[in-house]
Amino acid sequence: MHTDPPLDPADWEEFRALGKRIVDDIADHLAGLRERPVWQPVPEDVRASFRTGLPAGGMPMAEVYEEFRTTVLPFPRGNIHPRFWGWANGSGVPVAAYGDLLASVINCTLGSGGNAAMMVEQQVIEWLQQALHWPAAGSGLLTSGASMGQVTALAAARVAKAPSTTAFRDEGAVASGVQFTVYGSEETHHSVDKAVELLGIGRRFFRKIPVDRDFRIDVGALRATLRADREAGLHPLCLIGNAGTVNTGAVDPLRTLLEIAREEDLWYHVDGAFGAFAQLLPSHHALLDGMTEADSLVCDLHKWLYMPFDVSCVLTRAEGVLEAAFSSSADYISSTAGGPAAYPLAFSDRGIEQSRRFRALKVWFALKTHGIGTFAEAVAANVAQVAHLAARVEAADDLELVARSDLNVACFRYVWPGAAPDAADRVNRGILNRLQTEGLAMPSHTVLDGKFVIRVADNNHRTDVTDFDFLIAQVRAFGAELRAAEED
């Protein structure tokens, strides 16, 4: 006699009914986003609910869902809202959520083995190569984010440029006597700091090159640093080009960096966490010239391709370089003549994870549903929206455009004649605080040239230009009020 599995629903009809209700609630929630605050603080009674102990027994799943509706759903980060432009967070394509649900249902792990899920990830990587004009002969891997992509790419670079791949993997960097150095602008994302620490290169040997007035790497300073390091007996390993820095959206001179990398026999890596997807626009091919000839590229699909978190990709120009850095063997993952273990591709040999979730399905769902052209239109719309914002800022006598890129980032602030620097910073901090805590809009902030600025990064497919008109109006109104308080 068979008994019901203890962790499956006792009543499948009840499970079905709750699922239908959840989908209805999801549709209502997404359709009504504009009417809700972008963000709101979590009340103390809700915070207290997350400090309760481990449940010893269960409760009806409908009650668990109701608790989610009251304690989690109303208090999100806010990045699916049309007026969220903070940091570099994407807005989430609704149909992709179905892909995530179905991926959890079939519950595949994508390390190795012959199954349809492996083939979907392989196809998604090939689609990304096509979309980004990346060489088809290359390789790739889906990761959790660009941070893991940086580690993966630099690990591949380290092995590719080692005096002996086998000896380096067996004996490590110390035994090889090689001290590698890595180069990127001082605007390079902090994930590279973590990557060089983790890989044993050391943060001191990540050379952060100064930038020009447009926040792009200073090529002259780069060449001088390379020359000095070689004279000191160090081993330059990798040059990183930024296809859109997080701070300002600046794009380094990628073609020039490519030429330097080839002259100096460096691995050339491009961090295109969000900016790589401007490659979908013919208008931006010149800006990104050189990107598709890099040795490796990272891009976050959960940023400017609007996928739900998390899914990113690392692409390599040459086939086999990831396997050279990461492939391993054990009896329990060895190949067989037939069955799933006969499948020739193992994603676990392209990165550090053996257990890998089925991230590719949501991307597959979204691209099949909408087509890459629809995503390109959304990217183009974001570029136009930020251009509109920048124009509005420049036309206002009480606003200052501090930085903007040809991508989707603009930094500005409220100003007035004779304002002391610390007073101007206090007012702009106050404006940002009001915008965020009152749930009106969610730009973020940074500091440029010593000035506290309001930073907009538009990775949002739900935004339209009226949202930026609203933002300008609120900034000017709050600015006038806070300035008056400063002058009292």
pTM for this prediction? 0.95
- List, for residues 476-486, the tens digit of each pLDDT value: 999 999 999 98
DSSP type of residue 199 = T
Quick one: which H or E segment has residue 453?
A: strand 451-457
User: CB 172: neighbour CB atoms within 10 A?
Assistant: 11
Distant-in-sequence, close-in-space partners of 2: CB < 8 Å, separation ≥ 6: none
User: Residue 243 in contact with residue 251, Cβ under 8 Å?
Assistant: yes
Mean pLDDT of 286-303: 98
- In this predicted model, what pLDDT tens digit does every residue of 259-293 receive, in sequence order? 999 999 999 999 999 999 999 999 999 999 999 99
Mean pLDDT of 401-418: 97
How far apart CA 17 and CA 21 sit, in angstroms, is 6
Nearest to 307 by CA among 89, 25, 119: 89
With beta carbons less than 8 A apart as the criterion, state whether 321 and 139 touch.
Answer: yes
Q: Which helix (H) or strand (E) covers residue 142, if one does?
A: strand 139-143
Question: Residue 324 — very low, low, confident or very high, per pLDDT cuts 50/70/90?
Answer: very high
178 band by pLDDT with thresholds 50, 70 and 90: confident
pLDDT one-digit tens code per residue, 19-63? 999 999 999 999 999 999 999 999 999 999 999 999 999 999 999
Which tokens belong to 79? 């990045």
pLDDT at residue 338 in the model: 79
For 313, the 3-state DSSP assignment is: strand
Question: Do residues 258 and 353 lie in contact, with contact meaning Cβ atoms separated by under 8 Å?
Answer: no
Determine the straight-line distance between the first and last CA of the chain, rounded to whole angstroms: 83
Predicted local confidence at residue 12, as pLDDT: 95
* Contact of 405 with 411, CB cutoff 8 Å: no
- Residue 1 banded pLDDT, cuts 50, 70, 90: low
Residue 475: how many other CB atoms lie within 10 Å: 25
Give the per-residue pLDDT at 165: 63
Beta-carbon count within 10 A of 458 CB: 27
d(CA 452, CA 446): 6
**Dist CA 104 CA 56 (whole Å):** 25
- The whole-number pLDDT of residue 166 equals 67
User: ∠ at Cα 97 (93, 101), nearest 5°?
Assistant: 170
Closest to 237 in 3D by CA, of 202, 211, 212: 202
∠ CA 107-108-112 to the nearest 5 degrees? 165
- The reported pLDDT for the residue numbered 341 is 79
Q: Are 312 and 145 in contact (CB under 8 A)?
A: yes
Average pLDDT, the chain: 95
Beta strand pairing call for 399-404 and 409-414? antiparallel
In tens, the pLDDT along 91-142 reads 999 999 999 999 999 999 888 888 999 999 999 999 999 999 999 999 999 9
pLDDT of residue 176: 73
Dihedral angle over CA of 115, 118, 122, 123, nearest 10: 60
Percent residues over pLDDT 90 in the chain: 89
Mean predicted confidence (pLDDT) in 8-17: 95
What does the pLDDT read at residue 113?
85
Rounded CA separation 435/458 (Å)? 16
Chain mean position to CA 250: 16
- φ and ψ at 57, to 5 degrees? -125, 170
Q: Residue 225's CB: how many other CB atoms inside 10 A?
A: 18
User: What pLDDT does 114 receive?
Assistant: 83
Torsion sign (Cα): 239, 111, 114, 130? negative
- 196-242 pLDDT per residue, tens: 999 999 999 999 999 999 999 999 999 999 999 999 999 999 999 99
What is the CATH code of the structural domain delimited by 109-357?
3.40.640.10
pLDDT at 167: 67
Mean predicted confidence (pLDDT) in 77-101: 96
Q: What's the residue count for the chain?
A: 488
Judging by beta carbons within 10 Å of its beta carbon (0-12, 13-18, 19+), is residue 81 exposed, middle or buried?
buried
Query: Contact at 8 Å (CB) between 486 and 427?
Result: yes
Contacts of 130 (CB under 8 A, 6+ apart): 136
Q: Please tell me whether residue 433 adopts helix, strand or coil conformation.
A: helix
Beta strands in 110-253 (DSSP E): 139-143, 180-185, 206-209, 235-242
DSSP character at residue 315: E
Whether omega before 398 lies within 30 degrees of 0, making that bond cis, reads no
220, 222, 228, 233: CA torsion to nearest 10: -150
